[in-house]
Structure 1
Amino acid sequence: MPILAREASIYSGITIAEYYRDMGYNVAIMADSTSRWAEALREISGRLEEMPGEEGYPAYLASRLAEYYSRAGNIKTLGNDDREGSITVLSAISPPGGDFSEPVTRNTLRLAKVFWALDFNLAHRRHYPAINWFMSYSEYMSFLEDWFLRIDRDSQRLCSDARALLREEEELKEIVALIGADILGDKQRGVFEVAKMLKEYFLLQSAYHPVDVYCPIQKTYKMLRTLLKF
């Protein structure tokens, strides 16, 4: 794709999304990827002989990203108070070498409230979706807490316990790698077994399986509670 077309692509996409949002639709737009857009921006900036910023990107990279993401959200349309619309922006980032400290990733993380970190090691093990459960996060949990409590009053505790169990398993893996598995007691072996079931029976999913393709959230919490009680 030509450089100018790449640079204009996300603006064209968000403008079309705004058109349908103003008609009262809830629109989701996927930008794949903002890293390529930023590379085009860097090349255009270089040809214009502008002052480069970090890693050659223009100094206004952060403000351009902020302007783009600020166009997402809910609105009430002018001329009709009963008509509402929204835009949800999903952006893919392709950091070189998986370096999350590079400018595009770092500035995006400052703006985005939800982050799904794809893990190469999980994908290599055929664990899909290959979302790293330690690096991924959502800052909307406090806003959605009441809704989750209506679904299951123990929802927050179950999620916290599952994360704590997976983190404990990672710490035990480091000990086993240094000393060996023979020193583990029954409790530590139980942590390994439950963490394995949590990964294989709960986190591992297949979009082609009739059960995995859709699961009601009530069933999800019941499965999680059953695994943690094991």
Structure 2
Amino acid sequence: MSDLLMSLQGTINLATRNTASSPVRPNAFRHVGTADSCEMELSVETVTQNESYTGQRLQVGELTLGKSGTLNLTLKDWSIENIALALYGEKITVDAGIVTDEKLPESLVIGDRIKLAHPFVADVELKIADGTILVLGTDYEIESAHAGLIKLLTTMALTATVDYSYAKTESLGIFTRQPPERWFMLDGINTDRENEHVIVELFRVKFNPISNFSLLHNEGYGELPLTATVLADMSQNKDSSLGYFGSYVQKAK
């Protein structure tokens, strides 16, 4: 009999949960991209009982009070959807547009750097009240078109208004939605045995906010370390052999 060795890789997929169905089923799955690690930790809370008549206080019982689990993911794919999981955000799309006569803040001085209302700007022009268009490089500089940051170089620029266009953007706020719950599925393959596949599903995982959101990466690629609590899905059939948490499935030999 050969050893049953395992070296898993595979796609990690998340879906919103269709709570309108009974039992709850997953909606369309989204592949989260490259992941450096995926680990599940299961635990039970117990209370023990020792006897009191031999003088040795021997343990005679152990009662399970609860069962819980944790899912740990380290993602390398910085998609807006993955970042939304980490930040409890919701993706917002803003179409490209044009701004005219945007006012600058008051009490400015020469050398101040001002952020426009929109990022990813182009065709930036400053003009004063009589309609005179100021000179780029003399009256103002575009310090970062990506951030919409301009630097004011002359007195005329301090009271000017700004015309510009901006690109279509995707954004999300931080802590703007409730903790996201997802249906988790690993479509795994044992790289030691090409034809051996494993499917792991967790019916209900609730993601925690990211604890270390690294914004500068001096060495290597950035990571999104995510942790989720594995919760019981009480909508699943109580007589199901798969229980309330999830399943591990492989093809029968």
Q: Same fold (TM over 0.5)?
A: no
- Relative contact order higher in (CA < 8 Å, ≥ 6 apart): 2
Shorter-chain TM range is: under 0.3
Q: Which has the higher helix share?
A: 1
Larger Rg: 2
Q: Which has the higher strand share?
A: 2
Q: TM-score, normalised by structure 2?
A: 0.20
